[in-house]
Amino acid sequence: MSRSSSPVFTQRNEGYSGRFYISEVSEFSYYLPSDETERERLNLQSQLFYELFDNRYILPPISFKEGDIILDSGTGSGHWLSSVAKHVPETVQLRGIDISSRIFPPPSLTPPNVTFKTGSITSLPNEWNNYISFIHQRLLIGSLQEHHWKKGLSEMYRVLIPGGWVQLQEPNWTLTSPSQMIRDHTAYALKNELCRNRVTVWDIVKHLESWLEQAGFVNVELVEKIRLPLGSWGGERGRFGLKNLLELFRGFKKPIMDEDGLGLVNDEEAFDAMLDDLKAQCEATPGTYYEYSVFIGQKPYSP
């Protein structure tokens, strides 16, 4: 197991419930699998967010010119980056970075001005000083400890050109619902306990504005907040929103069961029954949502 200061996850087939997981290293706790099922979930999720944000990928007041570089930090399946490539000039370069390359899109489906590389968001390439025009990152909630978040924001500041922008999208940790049973559901108790055990930040939306400012960013702002319905009562978006949530929790199954169910579920059968119950309750409870917030910040033109 690597213990380098800028770790990149290696992959191995854990053989757990047929899922392929990224192996852990000392610095990061990443719970989700890296396989075709996860690629599909991320791609569908990315398309849904595009629709939820009124067909906008980039929210800061920025226009791109020849030679500009866009970075997708924690790119995952690369869907956001490949989609943005269709909306910016071909002379703009787009880079994606992630700890694992396993679900990067194949070269045959990658636009010529898009490249992907493995690397840590807390240790971006040294040669990238004042190099990137715009950075996008989303949905790292529960994946990083506080010092990793702050180091990652500091790295973003370092690599941005003066006047460059960062855009961060993260969800609230808890569901919005009129049902106390949903708000206190075992699924969320499990996720809370998992994050506590690994000392990762779960309430990131409470910290991002102040941490961006501490990193040196100006014009820091919460620019958008949207709600994703969870249940078929919310139409097509609600059906997918709930499906996405359940697939997300299924991805947590291995780390949870590796820790003996965290004292809340006894076995895989109990875990699956717990998710079936969450699904039924969300379907029966209109007004159940996941809320997502988007923060932006700008590197000042002068120190």
User: Residue 20: is its pLDDT beyond 90?
Assistant: no
Average confidence score pLDDT of the chain: 88
Return d(Cα 264, Cα 195) in angstroms, integer. 14
Q: Hey, how many other C-beta atoms are within 10 angstroms of the C-beta on 24?
A: 17
d(CA 140, CA 146): 12
pLDDT in tens, 203-219: 899 999 999 999 999 99
Question: Shortest CA distance to 191 belongs to which of 208, 179, 207, 175?
Answer: 175
Structural domains present in the chain: 11-175+197-229+292-298 (3.40.50.150)
pLDDT at 2: 31
How do residues 275-300 score in pLDDT, each as one tens digit?
A: 999 999 999 999 999 999 999 999 99
pLDDT in tens, 110-139: 999 999 999 999 999 999 999 999 999 999
pLDDT at 14: 40
Tell me which amino acid residue 112 is.
P
21 pLDDT tier (thresholds 50, 70, 90): low
| pLDDT tens digits along 136-190 | 999 998 788 899 999 999 999 999 999 999 999 999 878 899 999 999 999 988 8
Distance CA 135, CA 72 (A): 6
Q: Whole-angstrom Cα distance, residue 269 to residue 28? A: 29
User: What average pLDDT does this structure show over 55-82?
Assistant: 95
Query: Could you give the CA distance from residue 90 to residue 284 in angstroms, rounded to a whole number?
Result: 47
